[in-house]
Structure 1
Amino acid sequence: VILSLTLERISLKRATSKKTADQPTTQPTRQAQPAIVSSLLLTSNMPPKKEEATKTNGSSKKLSPTSASSTPQKSNGLSIFVAVIAFFALGVLSPPSLHTVRHVATQLDLSSSSLSTADVTSQSTDKLQLLPPHTPCTSSNLANYIHDTPVPGLHIVCIESLLNFDADNTNTLRFALFQNAIRPKLYQRKKITARATQNGGVGSMDWHQVKQLLVNELGLMPEGPRQQPWAVFTPLGQRIVGENDVVTRGENSSGDDNDDDKHNSVMKSNTQILQELASSGMVLVFQGGNWRWPGVREGFQRNIELSPTLDIDVSPNEKRNITIETLSMTPLVVSIKGFLTDQECDHIATKAEPSMQYSGVSLKDADKGKAASNWRTSQSAFLYSNRDPILTAIDHRTASLSRVPKGHQEVLQVLRYGTTEKYDAHHDYFDPRDYQSDPNTMNLIQGGKRNRFATVFWYLTTVKEGGETIFPQYRNKPLPRGYVHSDCRQGLKVKPQKGKVIIFYSLDDRGQMDPLSLHGACPVIGEDDIKWAANKWIWSAPMGFTADD
């Protein structure tokens, strides 16, 4: 769109320069359009623009590259030059990145009386700081979330908000819904219209109208005995609203959105929710109620910012950009290099070493009475973060990385593997069918409603030979007949590298257990190698394992 407007202005300028004084020309007048950032919605799917015309002596004349300039070769050369510059400026020749309102606002005319809810609200500096950044639903932005194959439980929704005070004084929310995050060829358009207000508010519109539309069009399932409530997030992972959040009718909410214990049931006002939805422009809906980084495809990389959450930075890396790389789509595994510093890795290993003991396992009903060493020969220790500023800072950083509140985290488990030591393939989630005779585990998982959602696995040392984390069912490959869970010949192998972490998800986007998340630790082979690592388990609901701040 920007490129076409640029070429159009060049053509018009050349055409005007060729007119004589006795042949007055009127510049083309564009039909008034709502001047909003979200007008870039799905530009790749918009129909071609009609050619504009100028009126000369009462007749209409279509502008074309040949009639606009007497030197078409120069114009074509200039057009190619402008196109190349525009390609670089728009990031077409660079890796995909997320463009927020600040990247595109300078290209748009914001003088129209028809404005989006986000634009009207953002005229107040104070309110702008409370709203999420606007992410237009451009093709480049959608490319960060759309998949080639369906992802059940993940949905992309583009929201365009129009306020038109000159016409019928209505506020319209227009939606483009990509069910299961499938490519843009398959989407639906819906809209909700309500009475507007002159102050730029949401008027008579109600969140429950939007909620019902999402439920109907996306097939969202309600909260149940084994189902967490679904939730809506910004493209950067900020939670906006959930299925069962308490909605007030005032302008502001009295609840604390940052309270970990209220992550699955937050109190917000109707106005605040709708303004945040309109401000975001693009939102992600997760049936499982928790944020999962969309994998998109193997090898896909995205840059995100980790922000400090403590008053005093105890680590030099408390605020920086990191790169998340997708290692596997099935199961979903992502990798982040340099997440921990060498000093942090050494600190964790040194602090845990005096408490290391040979690891135990949670035995299933069918394995009662068997020794843990049948599956696991490593040593482990649990480290509490309280009174340790380094561990506390890493807990906050892990929450920032995962986009799941700190109150969902378990206490850190530190692991040590010597030569030949390993951990056979297993799942981190607790399948309620396997623990029917274990009341403690059944109570912990509330009969299956909550469970381990994700594992952030920290590598504290580099291992030269062996010690990989293996995912035997990588790319949905079935286990061979007679499969032995200590077999490290089949699957995705992730080599230990000091400071690197991987995230793999035990629950899918629907909140259901993912059997493909089967994983294990291959034996350390090098005689002098010692593998130090750590598990930071994240649950699908607040657990109270870690202290809230």
Structure 2
Amino acid sequence: MTQALIGKHGEQWHEWVLSNLSRQCTPHSLFERMVARVWSQDDAAAAIDEGLAALGRSSDWRVPLPRIRVQGEAQSMVTVLGRLQRPQAVLLDNLLSQQECQALTDYALHKGLTASGVVDWATGQSVSHEARTSSSVFFNRAETPLIGAVEDRLAAVTGWPVSHGEGLQVLRYAPGQEYKPHHDWFDPARSGSATHLRRGGQRVSTTVIYLAAARAGGGTCFPNAGLELTPRTGGAVFFTNLTMDGKPDEMSLHAGTPVIEGTKIVMTYWQREGPFV
């Protein structure tokens, strides 16, 4: 067995993984401890899988998640500019062309934008809130040929089927407008989440596509990671909302920082565990 990962952080970690798995500690509990210390999610999961294999046990403890793939004709122009380990986030460029961004913006403005809402965790309904001051509009799946083509591209880039995606949402932020820190996953402990979880399960990932970048401000910030990303027009920020063992990731807390100058227009794509209906 190759021990390149299980021993990555020293012999003590190697022995710790094997001994705890031998004592029937769950892979989930090991994963949480490892990621809380020095391990990346990918390396921790792979090391646990190596330990399970060494003990002759199956490795079926982690859940599949969307992952960025930039190979093949549909993704050939998309560029990965950077990756963050925790949360699992990727900065993308050239996801959409300038012409596609303008056409989607024009269509959204023609359809009409209204004040954005947030989920009321008691009822599950969308309500206005001072934390989110943008205006927005939802598209139906494949509402136009261009929208359908963008959804197909997002499915190819993330390796996740179109059927598991919510309708695209376009949001406009004028100077001073923002979306304060929040999570995109639905809190299973809140009664209002039940309605949303029935429609396709948990939100596993988020892609924020910049149709028009502000001249100043308007980045996508991950406060717990101390990082702010501002893609160019046509670029995007992709991140997973769950850890690799399927639990809501507290590190996925994110915000749309206030626009300082100009207008920011973004398009958000949420992907679910199962078919979204």
TM-score with structure 2 setting the length: 0.77
Q: 1:43 to 1:331 in 2, by over 3 A?
A: closer
Shift of 1:152: 7.4
In structure 2, what is the Cα distance between the partners aligned to 1:357 and 1:336?
A: 28
On the 8 A contact 1:151/1:180 being kept in 2, the answer is no
- 1:462 is matched with which residue: 189, 208, 213? 213
In structure 2, what is the Cα distance between the partners aligned to 1:503 and 1:391?
A: 18
Query: Aligned residue for 1:304?
Result: 70
Higher relative contact order (CA closer than 8 Å, sequence separation 6+): 2
Query: Aligned residue for 2:269?
Result: 536
**CA offset digits 1:151-170 (Å, max 9, x no partner):** 279744xxxxxxxxxxxxxx
Shift of 1:289: 2.8
- 2:243 is matched with which residue: 499, 505, 508? 508
- 1:433 is matched with which residue: 168, 171, 189? 189
Q: Does 1:451 align with 2:202?
A: yes
In structure 2, what is the Cα distance between the partners aligned to 1:398 and 1:453?
A: 14
Q: Does 1:376 align with 2:132?
A: yes
Task: Write the mapping of 1:324-403 to structure 2, written as runs, cut at 5 A.
Answer: 324-354=80-110, 355-365=112-122, 372-403=128-159
In structure 1, what is the Cα distance between the partners aligned to 2:183 and 2:114?
A: 22
**CA offset digits 1:231-286 (Å, max 9, x no partner):** xxxxxxxxxxxxxxxxxxxxxxxxxxxxxxxxxxxxxxxxxxxxxxxxxxxxxxxx
Q: 1:524 to 1:150 in 2, by over 3 A?
A: closer
In structure 2, what is the Cα distance between the partners aligned to 1:375 and 1:535?
A: 17
On the 8 A contact 1:288/1:512 being kept in 2, the answer is no
Q: Which one-letter code corresponds to 2:130 in the other structure?
A: N
Task: Write the mapping of 1:82-481 to structure 2, written as runs, cut at 5 A.
Answer: 149=39, 151=41, 155-156=45-46, 178-179=47-48, 188-189=53-54, 216-218=57-59, 220-221=60-61, 287-293=62-68, 304-307=70-73, 318=74, 320-354=76-110, 355-365=112-122, 372-434=128-190, 436=191, 438=192, 441-446=193-198, 450-474=201-225
In structure 1, what is the Cα distance between the partners aligned to 2:52 and 2:127?
A: 53
On the 8 A contact 1:306/1:322 being kept in 2, the answer is no
- 1:498 is matched with which residue: 233, 243, 253? 233
Shift of 1:371: 6.4
Structure of higher CA gyration radius: 1
Q: 1:451 to 1:396 in 2, by over 3 A?
A: same
Number of equivalences: 244
Q: Which one-letter code corresponds to 1:391 in the other structure?
A: I
Q: 1:333 to 1:382 in 2, by over 3 A?
A: same
Is the partner of 1:460 in helix, strand or coil? strand
**What's the RMSD between the two structures over aligned residues?**
3.1
Is the partner of 1:407 in helix, strand or coil? helix
Shift of 1:463: 1.8
Shift of 1:464: 2.0
Q: Which one-letter code corresponds to 2:48 in the other structure?
A: Q
Q: Which one-letter code corresponds to 2:238 in the other structure?
A: I
Is the partner of 2:80 in helix, strand or coil? strand
Q: 1:386 to 1:180 in 2, by over 3 A?
A: same
Is the partner of 1:390 in helix, strand or coil? helix
Shift of 1:360: 1.1
Q: 1:361 to 1:334 in 2, by over 3 A?
A: same
**CA offset digits 1:429-466 (Å, max 9, x no partner):** 110212x2x3xx4143149x921000011001122211
Query: Aligned residue for 1:517?
Result: 252
Shift of 1:324: 2.5
In structure 1, what is the Cα distance between the partners aligned to 2:77 and 2:136?
A: 31
TM-score with structure 1 setting the length: 0.41
Shift of 1:512: 0.9
Q: Which one-letter code corresponds to 2:194 in the other structure?
A: M
Q: 1:366 to 1:450 in 2, by over 3 A?
A: closer
Q: Which one-letter code corresponds to 1:341 in the other structure?
A: S
Shift of 1:326: 3.8
Shift of 1:372: 2.1
Shift of 1:319: 5.3
Q: 1:323 to 1:426 in 2, by over 3 A?
A: same
Is the partner of 1:459 in helix, strand or coil? strand
**CA offset digits 1:518-546 (Å, max 9, x no partner):** 111111111xx0100010000111113xx
Is the partner of 1:365 in helix, strand or coil? coil
In structure 2, what is the Cα distance between the partners aligned to 1:494 and 1:392?
A: 27
On the 8 A contact 1:326/1:334 being kept in 2, the answer is yes
